[in-house]
Amino acid sequence: MYITIENILFIGSILLFISILVGKTSYKFGVPTLILFLSVGMLAGKEGFGGIEFDNLKIAQFTGIVALNFILFSGGLDTNWKSIRPILGQGVVLSTMGVLLTCILTGTIVWWLTDFNIYEGLLLGAIVSSTDAAAVFSILRSKNLALKNHLRPVLELESGSNDPMAYFLTVALLGLVQNPASSIASIFPIFLQQIILGGLLGLGFGYLCKLIINKIKLDFDGLYPVLAIALMFITFSATDSLGGNGFLAVYLCGVYLGNHKIIHKQTVVNMFDGLAWLMQIVMFLTLGLLVTPSEIIPVVGIGIIISVFLIFIARPLSVFISLSFFKMKMRRRLYISWVGLRGAVPIVFATYPLLAGIEKAQVIFNIVFFVSLSSVLLQGTTLGLVADWLKVSLPEVAKKRSSVEKFLSEDSKSLMREIEVPFNHSITGKQIVELEFPAEAIIAMIIRDGKFITPTGSTIIDGGDTLVVLAEKEAVLTTIASNFEKLT
User: How confident is the model over 87-109, as pLDDT tens digits?
Assistant: 999 999 999 999 999 999 999 99
The pTM of the full predicted model, rounded to 2 decimals, is: 0.81
- How far apart are the C-alpha atoms of 326 and 269, rounded to whole Å? 33
pLDDT reported for residue 139: 67
> Which of these, 419, 415, 422, 457, lies nearest to 436 by C-alpha position?
457
411-487: same fold as 8-396?
no
What are the residue ranges in the chain where pLDDT is below 50?
A: 27, 29-30, 397-413
pLDDT reported for residue 404: 41
Domain parsing of the chain, residue ranges = 8-396, 411-487
Domain 411-487 fold is Alpha-Beta Plaits (3.30.70)
Pairing of strands 451-453, 415-420: unpaired
pLDDT reported for residue 142: 60
pLDDT reported for residue 228: 96
Per-residue CA distances from 107 to 113, 301, 356 (Å): 10, 17, 19
Domain 8-396 fold is Na+/H+ antiporter like fold (1.20.1530)
Helix axis angle, 265-290 to 246-258, nearest 10° = 150
Identify the burial level of 131 via C-beta atoms within 10 angstroms of its C-beta, where 0-12 means exposed, 13-18 middle and 19 or more buried.
buried
pLDDT reported for residue 433: 79
